[in-house]
Amino acid sequence: MSAKWYETQGPEGDVVLSTRIRLARNLSDIPFGVNLDAAGRRQAVNRCSKAFAQVLPEAKITEMEAYSATDAHSLAEKRLISPEFADREPGTALVLMPDETVSVMLCEEDHIRLQVMQPGLDLENTWKIADMIDTAVAAKLPYAFDEQLGYLTQCPTNVGLAMRASVMLHLPALSQNGAVKRLTENIGKLGMTLRGAFGEGSAAQASMVQLSNQMTLGLSESDALQNLQTVTLQLVEQERRAQAEECRNSLFTDQIWRAYGILKYARRLETAEAAKLLSLVRMGACRGVLPVKTETVTALLTRIQPAVLELAEHTHDARERDEKRAELIRTTI
């Protein structure tokens, strides 16, 4: 398996796992997504595919129906597609670059959902890549755009910039001391949202949260990105201070070492437990407590997800998967 973007470490990589920008675009001369049947979606997808094939010649373009359920779920677990898109509605398709930095859902909620991901905190580059692809595609397809409102989208909350920028954060110390809970409730005032990154279960266990901008009207892309950058850097500093404080507590350090010990030797691990222990180990790696590389742990957080693991290890049931998960972790860390 060649290294993917999510297996490398980027800027502020101790706290920021990745940066993602999603753009929603629609064609102006056909109905929006919800008004299309399978045949209508196929037509829209055909036109978009041609444009993307020219703009991203290395990309693989696949009808979602051609993926197995496990393939589709593994794409969602790697956050390359939305969980809903993994339902493989007839007529939908995915454009995917080999390094998995760029994925485009065709006929998800909008005709085009372009997504660019980069490791660490890297809003500028991520935006540049997204903007470059978007500009090139715009030259080939008639985008639904209003001079007053901006980009038109299926859902009114996206109209305008039609951009959602987000960063995935690992906040074990701020989760531990209750700060994440308070932030989740109050960060809306800054026009942002904070939520668990892998869905409720294992994300909460792993202390992974996704911070994203919510405002799409009344400001430019660069303002929106600058706001996100500022708040992210504040959280990074807060998390680092909180981690340093936690690690002065020998009881907490003991918890980190125990998590490491269990992961080094357990023979069966469910996803949620593994995520919880890896989160502690990742913090131990960041603080220099454990002899482990942070990016090794980061990569494992993706590689232990059920469908990703099933594809890599050809497992057949949950028990075998738990055994393979334990084996993968103990032979890796």
Among 67, 143, 145, 257, binds its own copies (CB under 8 A): 257
**At CA 117, angle to CA 62 and CA 314, rounded to 5?**
55
Contact flag: residue 265 with its own copies (CB under 8 A)? yes
Looking at the Cβ atoms of 5 and 260, the one nearer to its own copies is 260
H/E run at residue 200:
helix 200-206
Among 140, 151, 160, 127, residue whose Cα is nearest residue 22 = 127
Looking at the Cβ atoms of 164 and 325, the one nearer to its own copies is 325
Contact flag: residue 267 with its own copies (CB under 8 A)? yes
Looking at the Cβ atoms of 209 and 269, the one nearer to its own copies is 269
Kindly state the tokens that stand for 81: 């597609």
Among 39, 252, 242, 12, residue whose Cα is nearest residue 119 = 12
Separation of alpha carbons 130 and 115, rounded Å: 7
8 A C-beta contact, residue 241 and residue 234? no
Among 118, 141, 142, residue whose Cα is nearest residue 128 = 118
Please report how close the Cβ of residue 284 comes to its own copies at its closest, in angstroms.
10
* Contact stretch for its own copies (CB under 8 A) within 18-26, 161-169, 260-268, 303-311: 260-268
Q: Rounding to the nearest 10 degrees, give the CA dihedral for residues 278, 68, 32, 139.
A: 80
Looking at the Cβ atoms of 178 and 291, the one nearer to its own copies is 291
Looking at the Cβ atoms of 6 and 260, the one nearer to its own copies is 260
H/E run at residue 186:
helix 179-186
Looking at the Cβ atoms of 2 and 250, the one nearer to its own copies is 250
Please list the residues that pair with 115 across neighbouring strands.
Answer: 22, 103
Contact flag: residue 71 with its own copies (CB under 8 A)? no
Contact flag: residue 261 with its own copies (CB under 8 A)? yes
Contact flag: residue 300 with its own copies (CB under 8 A)? no
Contact flag: residue 127 with its own copies (CB under 8 A)? no
Among 129, 171, 206, 266, binds its own copies (CB under 8 A): 266
Separation of alpha carbons 78 and 308, rounded Å: 8
Separation of alpha carbons 163 and 287, rounded Å: 34
- Looking from the CA of 62 toward its CB, the CA atoms found within 13 Å total 19
Among 286, 326, 329, 333, binds its own copies (CB under 8 A): 326
Please report how close the Cβ of residue 51 comes to its own copies at its closest, in angstroms.
52
**Could you tell me how many residues make up the chain?**
333
Annotate 1-28 with DSSP letters as a single string: -PPPGGGS--TTTTTEEEEEEEEEE-BT
Please report how close the Cβ of residue 243 comes to its own copies at its closest, in angstroms.
17
How many residues bind its own copies, per CB under 8 A?
Answer: 17
Please report how close the Cβ of residue 265 comes to its own copies at its closest, in angstroms.
3
Please report how close the Cβ of residue 261 comes to its own copies at its closest, in angstroms.
3
Please report how close the Cβ of residue 273 comes to its own copies at its closest, in angstroms.
11
Among 60, 140, 258, 293, binds its own copies (CB under 8 A): 258
Looking at the Cβ atoms of 198 and 260, the one nearer to its own copies is 260
Contact flag: residue 224 with its own copies (CB under 8 A)? no
Among 90, 254, 312, 318, binds its own copies (CB under 8 A): 254
Please report how close the Cβ of residue 255 comes to its own copies at its closest, in angstroms.
9
User: Judging by beta carbons within 10 Å of its beta carbon (0-12, 13-18, 19+), is residue 248 exposed, middle or buried?
Assistant: exposed
Contact flag: residue 293 with its own copies (CB under 8 A)? no
Residues making contact with its own copies (CB under 8 A):
250-251, 253-254, 257-258, 260-268, 323, 326
